[in-house]
Structure 1
Amino acid sequence: MDRLDAMRLFTRIIELGSFTAAADDLNLPRATVTHTIKRLETRLGTQLLQRTTRRVHATRDGEAYYSHCVRLLAEMDAVEADFREATVQPRGHLRIDVPALMARLWLIPALPAFFARYPLLELDIGTGDHFVDLLREGVDCVLRVGKLPDSNLVGRRVGVLEQLTVASAAYVRKHGVPQSLADLQNRHCAVNWASPTTHRSEPLEFMVGRKRREVILPGQVTVSSVEAYLACCEAGLGIAQFPRYRVAEGIANGTLRELLPATPPPSLPVTVLYAPHRQMPARLRVFVDWLVEQMSKQL
C-alpha cells in the first residue's frame, strides 16, 4: 500500500473509530489494515492510535497527523477532480447533513433533478440539528438554520427564514391572546428553548421597528430538541417561535395561532457549511452550488 493509500486508511480509522469499520468501508482485509498502520507508525516513529475495547482514538501525534492527512488528501482529490472535470462528470460520494423537515419538504423532492444533472454522484443524507464535527465524522457539508458558533468552517449564506410567534389554540383559550409585549410579559409563559451547544435557555426575540427586543418568560418546561419544542407548544405548554414553514400546517388547520404579528421575531439565516479547501473537490462544489440554487427558490 503506497503512502497516499495509507493516509486514506488512517483517516477512515479516525473518522469511523474502528479498524474493522475502516476495513469494511475500504474493502480491505483486517490484517492489511493492522499491518499498514503498524508500518505507518514505524515509519513516522510515533504512536498514532490508542485502542480500547470499544473504540480507536488518536493520540496527540495522531491528531496532528490526521489534520495534515485531511488537508493533503483533499488537495490531491481536488487537483485530480479539476483535471477530470473538463471531460468527465463530477463523480463520487458525498455525506451531507440537513435539518429533517427541510430534507423532507425541499431537498429530497428535488433530488431526481439533481441526479439527472449529476448521475455519477451518490449522497449519504443525515437529518438532524445537532452539532456535526465535519472532519471527524467524515461529513462534507451541513445545512444549518440560525446563529452559528464560531468555527473554522466556511459558511455560504443560502437565504433567510421568516419566523412567527405561536401558541396552540388550547393555550389561547386558557390564557388569551397577548396584545403587546408588555401584556405578554405580565400574563403569559413560554416553552423554553435551550441551545444544544451552550445549554443556555434563549429568550424570545421580537423586532420593534428596526430594534431587536428580548423577552424572558416563565416556563415549566425546557427543551433542546426542535421536535420536542414544537410538541410542547402544540400541547399548550407555552408560547414559542418557529420558522414559518415549520408551523404553516398547524396555523392552516387551526391547531396553532400566530401571536403579535406586528412585532415578529427576527428572520433566521440559512447557511451551508463545509471545511475550508484550497481547491474544493468538484463533487462538493457542484452540490453546494445546486443547494444554494434550490434553497433560493424556496426561501
Structure 2
Amino acid sequence: MDRFSALKVFTRVVEANSFTRAADSLNMPNATISKTIQQLESHLGVCLLQRTTRRITVTPEGREYYEKALRILKDLEEIDASFKSVRNKPKGHLRIAIGGSTARDVLIPLLADFMTSYPEIRIDLAVADKPADLISSNIDCAVRGGSMDDSTLIARKIGEAALITCATPDYLRRYGIPATPDELQNGHRLISYLSPASGRAFPFRFEHNGIATEIKTQHHLGINESNAHIAAGEAGLGIVQTFTYSVRNELASGALVEILSKWRPASYPFHLIYAQSRHVPPRLRVFIEWLAEAFPAAVKA
C-alpha cells in the first residue's frame, strides 16, 4: 500500500463525504478508492469510516486520523513548494467559488491580468450565489459579501461595494418616482433578491443622516440568482436594489435610473475566505494578494 496515496484518498473521501465524488476529484476508479480505504483500515487495525448504502460516517478514530493526515499532507505540500527554484512562478490548480454577478462584472474582467502574470496556475470558477462548502467541495477560496460568521475559516476583507436602488425610465413613467423609501410600500413593484440558502427575501436597505432603515414589504417578484435579479430590473419589471458595479453601463446609458439617491445604504463588505492552515499554497497566496489589490477599484461606484 502506498501510504502517501492512501492519506490523500482518505482525506478526500472525508471531505467529499462520498466515495464517488472523491473518485471523480482524484480521477481514480471507485473500486480503487474503496480498496485503498480497506487496506488503510487493515493496516491501522481500526475502523475509519462507517459505510451504509446511503451515507458515510466518520468514526472518532477516523476523525482523529483525518486531522493528523491533513496536517501531514499540508506540511509536505509546503516543503515541496519551499524547495522549488525561486525562478519558478506559482503553479497548480486553483478552485474559486464566487457569486454570479460578481464573477461576471468584477472577477472575470480582471482575470486576464492575473492569468498573464501567473500562466502556470490553472483556474476553476465555481459560479453560484449559494455559498459553497469549501472543504466538501474542494474549494481553495471563495469571494463572499456580507458579514463573516464562520470562525473555522479565515476571512480577509478585500473591499466594499456601493448599493443602488434603480428602475427603468418606462417603469418610473408608469408608477411614478418615489420621494422617500416609505413610498415603495404604496403601489410600487419591488424585485427582491432571495437568499439562495434560505429562500428569504433580503430587505431593501436605506440610510439617511446616519440612520439606517429597512423596507420589508411583499415583493412583486423574487429571484435567487444575481444575474437574473439584475436582468429583471433591466426588463422594467420593477425596482431593484443591487451593486453599482453590476449596473454601471445601464446607468451610464440611461437604461436604468437611480432613485432615492439621498437614502443610499452603507457600503457592503466583501471578503476572500479560505480554510485555516499553517501553510497557504503559493498559488493561493498570490491570488489573495492580487485580488485584495485589484478588487476595490473594480467595484468603485
Q: TM-score, normalised by structure 1?
A: 0.86
Question: For 1:217-296, what aligned pairs fall within 5 Å after superposition?
Answer: 217-296=217-296
- 1:280: how far off? 1.3
Deviations 1:222-250 (A, max 9, x none): 33222332233334443221101112233
Distance 1:195 1:4, change over 3 A: same
> C-alpha distance in 2, partners of 1:25/1:218?
43
Q: 2:58: which partner in 1?
A: 59
Unmatched runs of 5 consecutive residues or more in structure 2: none
Q: 1:50: which partner in 2?
A: 51
Count of residue pairs the alignment pairs up = 297
> C-alpha distance in 2, partners of 1:183/1:30?
59
Q: Is the 8 A contact 2:182 2:215 kept in 1?
A: no
- 1:256: how far off? 2.0
> C-alpha distance in 1, partners of 2:113/2:228?
33
> C-alpha distance in 2, partners of 1:277/1:30?
29
1:172 maps to amino acid: L
Q: 2:107: which partner in 1?
A: 107
- 1:10 is paired with a residue whose SS is helix
Q: State which drifts further: 195-204 or 124-133.
A: 195-204
> C-alpha distance in 2, partners of 1:25/1:229?
32
Percent same amino acid at aligned positions?
36
- 1:265: how far off? 2.2
- 2:136 is paired with a residue whose SS is helix
Deviations 1:72-119 (A, max 9, x none): 422332233233364532222111122333333443344343233323
Q: State which drifts further: 129-138 or 219-228.
A: 219-228
- 1:77 is paired with a residue whose SS is helix
Q: State which drifts further: 202-211 or 73-82.
A: 73-82
Q: State which drifts further: 241-250 or 118-127.
A: 118-127
- Does 2:88 align with 1:88? yes
Distance 1:83 1:189, change over 3 A: same
- 2:164 is paired with a residue whose SS is strand
Q: State which drifts further: 56-65 or 139-148.
A: 56-65
Q: 1:34: which partner in 2?
A: 34
- 1:174: how far off? 1.9
Distance 1:24 1:69, change over 3 A: same
Q: Is the 8 A contact 1:191 1:222 kept in 2?
A: yes
Q: Is the 8 A contact 2:91 2:120 kept in 1?
A: yes
2:56 maps to amino acid: H
Q: Is the 8 A contact 2:206 2:214 kept in 1?
A: yes
Q: Is the 8 A contact 2:205 2:212 kept in 1?
A: yes
- 2:247 is paired with a residue whose SS is helix
Question: For 1:115-154, what aligned pairs fall within 5 Å after superposition?
Answer: 115-154=115-154
Q: Is the 8 A contact 1:162 1:243 kept in 2?
A: yes
Distance 1:182 1:107, change over 3 A: closer
- 1:208: how far off? 0.6
Deviations 1:191-239 (A, max 9, x none): 2333223333222111112221112233233332223322333344432
Report runs of 4+ in structure 1 exceeding 6 Å deviation. none
Q: State which drifts further: 31-40 or 266-275.
A: 31-40
Distance 1:155 1:85, change over 3 A: farther
> C-alpha distance in 2, partners of 1:281/1:287?
10
- 1:288: how far off? 1.0
Distance 1:60 1:228, change over 3 A: farther
Unmatched runs of 5 consecutive residues or more in structure 1: none
- 1:135 is paired with a residue whose SS is coil
- 1:84 is paired with a residue whose SS is coil
- 1:157: how far off? 0.9
